[in-house]
Structure 1
Amino acid sequence: MSAGPDPAGDLLDRVLLTRVVEPGDEAGGRWVREFGVEEVARRLREGAPPLPGVSGRRWAGLLARAGQADPRRDLAVAREAGVRFVRPGGAEWPGQLDDLGDARPLGLWVRGRPSLRMWALKSVAVVGARACTEYGAHMAATLAADLAGRGWVVVSGGAYGVDGAAHRGALGAGGATVAVLACGVDRPYPRGHTELINRIAEQGLVVGELAPGEHPTPSRFILRNRVIAALTRGTVVVEAAHRSGSLVTARAAQRLGRHTIGVPGPATSGLSAGVHELLRGDAVLVTDAADVIEMVGDIGDLAPDRRGPVLPRDLLEPRARHVLAALPARRAATAAEIARGAQTSEDDAIARLYELRALGYVERHDDGWKLTRQAVISVRDGRRRS
């Protein structure tokens, strides 16, 4: 969306609307799309008749808010706190937020030095339960540290539990992290995370839709989650009960066509029940940062092959492995018996047996063939892995 012919006016109008219209209000977004920011702001300032799709009572409430709003004061308070206002069409606006349609933020208040648009290009959300277990905190911190160490920006909500662990993991790795708050970015919430959020603002970015000084409410937490989902390439849920707010983020990511990713937990843990529900649907199971990057990264960002140590028998030619596997573990067998087990001819089995003898896997025993001690151990290990 273009900033319009009067960028200064558009800025003040949008700042006004962040005081008046609640985050994610699709009616307000539709008004902006159909009438333009300037016209919507004018009607609110002048007490004009209601815009379409709103009751008289609600419109009166919006007019009361508009009467108390002072966008110039908000911008001055923001500047004093080191906060800037980023709006659609501006150089720092992350275009992927436009996928939210009429629920797109009217603008974002941003605290921190880096470019939000550039950081969002290679970002992944790590979210989960506030009352997480030690396992959940460990997984969130480890994932975030590894993602940050590989050049990814970790986005979360600044809350207790998994969110805080993810931010700390990224910061501890010297990496990039973004906290998306459900309040004014000049008022860290929760208060117990004031030091953490201030540190994020110094090393990363703190972002929010609400004007300076605004407090969080339950609905604002829920609506904040759509920004986390839209801003990032994918959402990783570490721990979540059936009614966890982090599931809202994951489902928003699914609706937006982003990757939805889950870290499994114990089958008996209620705090992993919501994650397991996601995994029974379209979410993808991951266990480490390499798995996550394979999902959200560019072509060629593949996780390593999940294999155990290479055993000597793995280096054998396939038909020789089949013959080796057909030998009994504790007795000798004839070539004919081994051939039947390997589903090959007796002549081919004998040829392979002589190869295996040269490699120390088998030995002649009267009229039959028997595994050596080395081969017994190798075959046993191979069967454990299969």
Structure 2
Amino acid sequence: MANLGITEREIAGLLPPLRARGDTAASAGELAELFARATWTGIAEPGDRAAGLLVTALGAHRALAALIERWPVERLLAEVDPAERAGRGTLGRELTDARERWSPRLNSAAAVRALQGAVRLGCRLAVPGDAEWPTGVDDLGVHAPLALWWRGQPESMAAMRRSFALVGARAATGYGEHITMEASAGLVDRGFAIVSGAAYGIDGTAHRAALASGGVTVAFLAGGLDRFYPSGHDALLHSIVATGAVISELPCGASPTRWRFLQRNRLIATASQATVVLEAGHRSGSLNTAGHAAGVFH
């Protein structure tokens, strides 16, 4: 039941192609945990604190079972906060509200479709502890991603350990784009990877300059990897896949939304070693990225 009625045989057929090294020798328990992490990416919104608390306390597979079996809130509280450090009433309401958000998304057909779509596209699934996992995102604690979907080159995932995030306005000026090109190319020449969000303006310029300089660039998206966004950057994103990586914490089929863009920014900030806002308006989303970087590192 904790696998949403999907058999171990089906899981064993779907998951190994999504792993960078195949995982052909993974045990049934390991595959069940991977399946649960993949499924949670379609159940909880990015950065969901309650999901982070539950998965941290129980593991992804038991947390999924708890949701499916509708464990009483008292049992969840005993698992999440056994020492009763948090206010029981507040935490209980948080978990109750979260369960109501998640329950409508418990759909075995949707979970299988997401996995099958990822396999068709050549996507991979990274989880904490993998060589491909950007360890900087762990600084987010219970707001960290439960898993990451990615397309591209494995060595590019590891390259984020020595990277700069270059972000800025979509409505960039010529001067802003010029400075971005110089910064991106200069950092690539010094052996750094370039991380950004593939948006129009500064982001796209940062990626293109890195590619033109023969460097590694990584793009974080706010929707599933089956539909590159923005559509005008489809060719750019395919070029990034060929030499770098495109990443999302959302499964195939998920649409980008304003909330998901803002949550995506926290990954850009934490996956890289430094965040540079090259040009931004007073209300730019790039300042949200800088805020995540400042909040984590200071």
Same fold by TM (over 0.5)? Answer: yes
Give the match for residue 35 of structure 1: 58
What are the equivalent positions in structure 2 for 1:328-367 lying under 5 Å apart? none
Tell me, in whole angstroms, the C-alpha distance in 1 between the residues paired with 2:158 and 2:98: 38
Tell me, in whole angstroms, the C-alpha distance in 2 between the residues paired with 1:142 and 1:31: 44
Q: Which amino acid aligns with 1:148?
A: V
Sort the Cα spacing of 1:53 and 1:148 in 2 relative to 1 into closer, same or farther, 3 A.
farther
Give the match for residue 46 of structure 1: 69
The Cα of 1:34 is off from its aligned counterpart by 1.8
What are the equivalent positions in structure 2 for 1:209-358 lying under 5 Å apart? 209-257=249-297
Give the match for residue 49 of structure 2: 26
Sort the Cα spacing of 1:69 and 1:146 in 2 relative to 1 into closer, same or farther, 3 A.
farther
Match of 1:96 among 131, 136, 139: 136
Tell me, in whole angstroms, the C-alpha distance in 2 between the residues paired with 1:63 and 1:4: 28
**Scaled by the length of structure 1, what TM-score is found?**
0.63
Q: Which amino acid aligns with 1:242?
A: H
The Cα of 1:116 is off from its aligned counterpart by 4.8
Tell me, in whole angstroms, the C-alpha distance in 2 between the residues paired with 1:91 and 1:237: 29
Larger proportion of helix: 2
Tell me, in whole angstroms, the C-alpha distance in 1 between the residues paired with 2:233 and 2:271: 22
Give the match for residue 15 of structure 2: none
Give the match for residue 111 of structure 1: 151
The Cα of 1:75 is off from its aligned counterpart by 2.3
Sort the Cα spacing of 1:167 and 1:72 in 2 relative to 1 into closer, same or farther, 3 A.
same
* Residue deviations 1:114-158 (CA, integer Å, cap 9, x gap): 335421111100000011111111111221122122221000000
* Residue deviations 1:57-97 (CA, integer Å, cap 9, x gap): 65233111013564343222112101000001223212221
Sort the Cα spacing of 1:165 and 1:117 in 2 relative to 1 into closer, same or farther, 3 A.
closer
Tell me, in whole angstroms, the C-alpha distance in 1 between the residues paired with 2:136 and 2:293: 12
Task: Output the aligned Cα RMSD.
Answer: 2.0
Structure 2, unaligned runs of 5 or more: 1-25, 77-91
Structure number with bigger Rg? 1
Give the match for residue 10 of structure 1: 33
Conserved in 2, the CA contact under 8 Å of 1:124 and 1:232? yes
Query: Does 162-171 or 249-258 show the bigger shift?
Result: 249-258
Q: Which amino acid aligns with 2:37?
A: R
Q: Which amino acid aligns with 1:250?
A: A
Tell me, in whole angstroms, the C-alpha distance in 2 between the residues paired with 1:170 and 1:250: 21
The Cα of 1:56 is off from its aligned counterpart by 4.7
Give the match for residue 16 of structure 2: none
Percent of paired sites with the same residue: 44
Give the match for residue 80 of structure 1: 120
Conserved in 2, the CA contact under 8 Å of 1:230 and 1:256? yes
Q: Which amino acid aligns with 1:168?
A: R
* Residue deviations 1:299-325 (CA, integer Å, cap 9, x gap): xxxxxxxxxxxxxxxxxxxxxxxxxxx
**Scaled by the length of structure 2, what TM-score is found?**
0.81
Tell me, in whole angstroms, the C-alpha distance in 1 between the residues paired with 2:266 and 2:98: 24
1:136 equivalent in alignment to 2:159: no
Paired residue secondary structure (2:61): helix
Conserved in 2, the CA contact under 8 Å of 1:94 and 1:117? yes
Sort the Cα spacing of 1:9 and 1:124 in 2 relative to 1 into closer, same or farther, 3 A.
same
Paired residue secondary structure (1:242): coil
Conserved in 1, the CA contact under 8 Å of 2:197 and 2:220? yes
Conserved in 2, the CA contact under 8 Å of 1:16 and 1:70? no
Structure 1, unaligned runs of 5 or more: 259-386
Conserved in 1, the CA contact under 8 Å of 2:218 and 2:246? yes
* Residue deviations 1:251-275 (CA, integer Å, cap 9, x gap): 11112217xxxxxxxxxxxxxxxxx
Q: Which amino acid aligns with 1:96?
A: G
Paired residue secondary structure (1:222): helix
The Cα of 1:205 is off from its aligned counterpart by 0.4
Tell me, in whole angstroms, the C-alpha distance in 1 between the residues paired with 2:138 and 2:122: 26
The Cα of 1:164 is off from its aligned counterpart by 0.5
Give the match for residue 205 of structure 1: 245
The Cα of 1:35 is off from its aligned counterpart by 2.2
The higher relative CO (CA closer than 8 Å, separation ≥ 6) is in 2
